[in-house]
Amino acid sequence: MPVDFAGAAVGTAFSELFTLVKDVVKTIAEFRGQLEKIESTLRTIQPIINDIDEYNKRLDHPKEMGPIKNLLDEGKGLVEKCLRIHPLNLCKKCTHSKKLTQFDEAVRGEFQIYMPLLATRNTVAILVQMEEMRGELKLICSGQANGGALQSRLGALGNLAAPEAPDLIVGLEVEESLRILKERLLEEGVTVIVVTAPGGCGKTTLLKTLCHDADIEGKFKDNIMFVPVSKKLNLIDIVQRMIQHNGFAVPVIETEDGAVHYLHQLLYKVGQNPVLLVLDDVWTESQSFLEKFVFRKIKDYKIVVTSRYKFPAFPLVHRLNPLTHGEALELFRRSVTVDDRSMVVPDDELVDQIVKRCKGLPLALTVIAKSLRGKDRSFWQRKLLDWSEGHSLLDSDSDILDCLRKSLEDLDGDPSIKKRFMDLGSFPEDQMIPATALIDMWVELYELDFSSVRAITDLHELVYRNLADHVVTRRDSSDDSESYSGHYAMQHDLLRELAIIECNRGKVEKRERLILDLIGNNVPNWWSKQKQQSFGARLVSISTDGPFSTPWPNLELPEAEALVLNFHNMMQTKTYALPEFIETADKLKVLIVTNYSFFPVELRNFHVIGSNLRRIRLERVRAPFLSMGNLRLHNLQKLSFSMCGISQASTSDDAKLSDAMPNLLELDIDYCNDLVSLPDDICQIKPLIKLSITNCHNFSALPEEIGQWESLDMVTLNSCTNLLQLPESIVSLRKLTLLDMSDCLNLSNLPDQIGQVVNLKKMNMRGCPRLSMLPPSIVNLSKLRKVVCHKEKADMWGPLKNSLNRLQVITS
């Protein structure tokens, strides 16, 4: 079969056309106007078309560039014909001029519609490949039953291993800083080192690199703990994470004095070997907390603090200075390239002026470089002109934010991405934002399709534009491409501040987003006046810390469609009540409640939840799922619990979940270890499409009436280690396409008539060691296309290859 070289040759076709146009425009005066326009168009798209050509080669998508190559070949023929038309043949000259104009318009139209879509698709594909290569993070259990699976989700909080070292560090200043810090950490007597610099100078990057230095790893080995701190330093939470990270059972700690006691005990246990503790991004008001981490009698216990501020109590300070101009140029040029391949950039003078504006700050240099990547010279000039009109980068964080705002404004006329960026400010600083929470919020706020594809694409767009980071903490065994558990977004603290500044423009009553950060009992001025106000915000975010005790504000939110509540609790016994104003928020569609402390907190006042809610997501709270039959959530479509206590007994024998939420489409329960079973009446919720019960280690049985879920399309039971069998009635699920039983360690058999699930396409049975036989009816699964299992179980499927000849068995 002949090989299709369309994709591979598109770069050559473009180069031939571009060279020909530049030559002909100099020699054929009759068509000079049209050819100059074509030359300008080709010069504009050259960097992008080269990138996409390269990406298609890497992704093995050669045919994707076929339409572009055909268009370029057509143009080459038109330009060559210019050489053959006689100057006096006015008819042909007129006709050919029109064809050249039409070709130029066709190239512009193809570039404006087809190329950006292809670029985005390729970028997402590469991001996915890169994330798959990272693999699962090494998570540490705390000695509980089935600990490896049980603690993997908590590992997102408890794993304090040093983050991956960056691929690129630039400058003698950084290299010298690494040398100085390494010498100080390897010598005796040094206890606390403070690395200080303005925001964006690369303090965190420096420490990540230091932690992975061979000499540092050799001395401290597994005793390196990297703790992101941020503005709200929670001593109890940090100590609990340190205890879990070192493999010990996590105690209940109610006071800071108790936390200091447990920290002392921990350090004596692990301090037989050298210990390095990195406290990253400590704010000036946290100096008193820092002193609680210092135990000078423990030999070879070192603390490195990164901060924007100096701390008088710790005199050993290393200041990380901005890059020199030469170093800044090097970082900028490397950041404006893709995969170490040089791109066409404007002249050195223009680059020099832009780099000077960044004042040697690595964050600003990399953000600005990526925002200019692939743009033509006029775009660079316009950007520089904008900055020159009263805006400059100085030494303060506010100036850095001005620079980042300019980057934010460069969104190619797509205001929707700017909205998504500002939405990230609704979540706390230095916390990983679950992708599923963003999906829930964006699907309803922006009326996206329920499948979440557009929402996750928007997240990747933010990552691509360097406005957020994508973090994957685990890869579930599920083969469901729409499952994003373990996927998170993270936002640099300066970028979050930028998002909040953008949100807070204009009068508070008219803002589209209302973001309240209630620290202690310090409240906004408008609240302290005890005057009820009406706000027009569609998205409302309220964050509280442990000392917060003032009653919720009495807000009128007639336009609110999404409410995000963030709790930073310090005591296990803390109880929170849902705000009363929820009851009158008639347009509210999404409720996201997240407790960021180690243990779940009690959540009450559920009666205020209105019937218009379509999505509810609760994390690390004790919520009475089995008592929700008393509510009236007739529009609820998705209900999610993560690390929650949900199995409180129903308060009424007559209260049925099927009456409370008759239109539920998706139920997602993850790491809810008190869940043993589901009530039988839940099967009367006829519209349910997705059922996901994952990492619930005490869950032992599905309802016998599961066959009543006639609309069920996906069942995911990943890591339900106490699940012994599937009910026979599951064979009645004629619309089921995905069945995931991965890591169900005690599952020993499939229903005898499993072959009646006639639409089943994917089955995941990886990590099911007791499942040793397949029922004979399995041969009737004519639509089964993919099975995932361990290598030793693949032989079970061998005899079925003739009956199920399109089946793909994937082993691990």
Please check the confidence at residue 531 and state whether its pLDDT lies above 70. Answer: no
Please check the confidence at residue 723 and state whether its pLDDT lies above 90. Answer: yes
Task: Provide the pLDDT confidence category of residue 802 given band limits of 50, 70 and 90.
Answer: confident
Q: Is residue 433 part of a domain?
A: no
Please check the confidence at residue 562 and state whether its pLDDT lies above 90. Answer: yes
Q: Is residue 66 part of a domain?
A: yes
Q: Is residue 416 part of a domain?
A: no
- Lay out the sheet containing 621-622: strands in order across: 575-577, 601-604, 621-622
Residues 329 and 311 grouped into a single domain:
no
Mean pLDDT on 382-391:
66
Q: Is 531 left (phi over 0), alpha (psi -120 to 50) or beta?
A: beta
Of 113, 134, 155, at which residue does a domain stop? Answer: 134
Of 274, 304, 319, at which residue does a domain stop? Answer: 319
Please check the confidence at residue 196 and state whether its pLDDT lies above 90. Answer: no
Residues 152 and 280 grouped into a single domain:
yes
- Cβ atoms within 10 Å of 28's Cβ, excluding its own: 15
**For residues 113 and 99, is the Cβ–Cβ distance under 8 A?**
no
Q: Is residue 174 part of a domain?
A: yes
Residues 122 and 185 grouped into a single domain:
no
Task: Provide the pLDDT confidence category of residue 200 given band limits of 50, 70 and 90.
Answer: confident
What are the φ and ψ backbone dihedral angles of 433, each rounded to 5 degrees?
-95, 115
Task: Provide the pLDDT confidence category of residue 560 given band limits of 50, 70 and 90.
Answer: very high
Mean pLDDT on 240-257:
87
Task: Provide the pLDDT confidence category of residue 394 given band limits of 50, 70 and 90.
Answer: very low
Mean pLDDT on 499-522:
84
Mean pLDDT on 30-46:
81
Token readout for 160 is: 């304090």
Residues 725 and 780 grouped into a single domain:
yes
pLDDT tens sequence across 464-504: 666 788 888 765 544 445 678 788 998 876 678 788 888 88
pLDDT of residue 295: 85
Q: Is residue 401 part of a domain?
A: no
pLDDT of residue 591: 96
Helix (H) or strand (E) holding 278: strand 275-282
CATH number for the domain spanning 790: value is: 3.80.10.10
Answer whether 0.85 is exceeded by the pTM. no
Q: What is the mean pLDDT of the chain?
A: 79
CA 349 to chain centre: 37
Q: Which residue from 259, 201, 359 is spatially nearest to 571, judged by alpha carbons?
A: 259
Task: Provide the pLDDT confidence category of residue 395 given band limits of 50, 70 and 90.
Answer: very low
Please check the confidence at residue 154 and state whether its pLDDT lies above 50. Answer: no
Share of the chain above pLDDT 90, in %: 22
How many Å apart are CA 746 and CA 741, to the nearest integer? 11
pLDDT tens sequence across 281-308: 887 667 778 888 888 888 889 999 988 7
Q: Is residue 549 part of a domain?
A: no
pLDDT tens sequence across 316-345: 888 877 788 888 888 888 888 766 555 567
Residues 309 and 352 grouped into a single domain:
no
pLDDT of residue 758: 92
Please check the confidence at residue 68 and state whether its pLDDT lies above 80. Answer: no
Half-sphere exposure of 788 toward its Cβ, with a 13 Å CA cutoff? Answer: 19
Q: Which residues of 219-229 are buried (b: 16+ CB within 10 A; e: fewer)?
A: bbeebbbbbbb
Of 376, 393, 410, at which residue does a domain stop? Answer: 393
Residues 757 and 804 grouped into a single domain:
yes
Residues 279 and 154 grouped into a single domain:
yes
Q: CA separation (Å) from 642 to 40, 369, 600, 601, 645? A: 54, 39, 10, 13, 9
CATH number for the domain spanning 193: value is: 3.40.50.300
Mean pLDDT on 387-404:
52
**For residues 44 and 376, is the Cβ–Cβ distance under 8 A?**
yes
Residues 706 and 805 grouped into a single domain:
yes
How many Å apart are CA 586 and CA 589, to the nearest integer? 9
Residues 192 and 259 grouped into a single domain:
yes
Instruction: Say which residue the tokens 């990272």 belong to.
Output: 134
Task: Provide the pLDDT confidence category of residue 134 given band limits of 50, 70 and 90.
Answer: very low
Q: Is residue 466 part of a domain?
A: no
How many Å apart are CA 543 and CA 567, to the nearest integer? 6
**For residues 397 and 500, is the Cβ–Cβ distance under 8 A?**
no
Compare 30 and 648 and report the one with higher pLDDT.
30
Compare 198 and 361 and report the one with higher pLDDT.
361
Q: What is the number of domains present in the chain? A: 4
Range of the domain at 128: 6-134
Residues 366 and 379 grouped into a single domain:
yes
Q: Is residue 728 part of a domain?
A: yes
Residues 298 and 329 grouped into a single domain:
no
**For residues 515 and 426, is the Cβ–Cβ distance under 8 A?**
yes
Residues 160 and 309 grouped into a single domain:
yes
How many Å apart are CA 94 and CA 124, to the nearest integer? 45
DSSP-H helix ranges across 275-347 = 287-291, 325-335
Angle (nearest 5°) at CA 140 between 135 and 141: 125
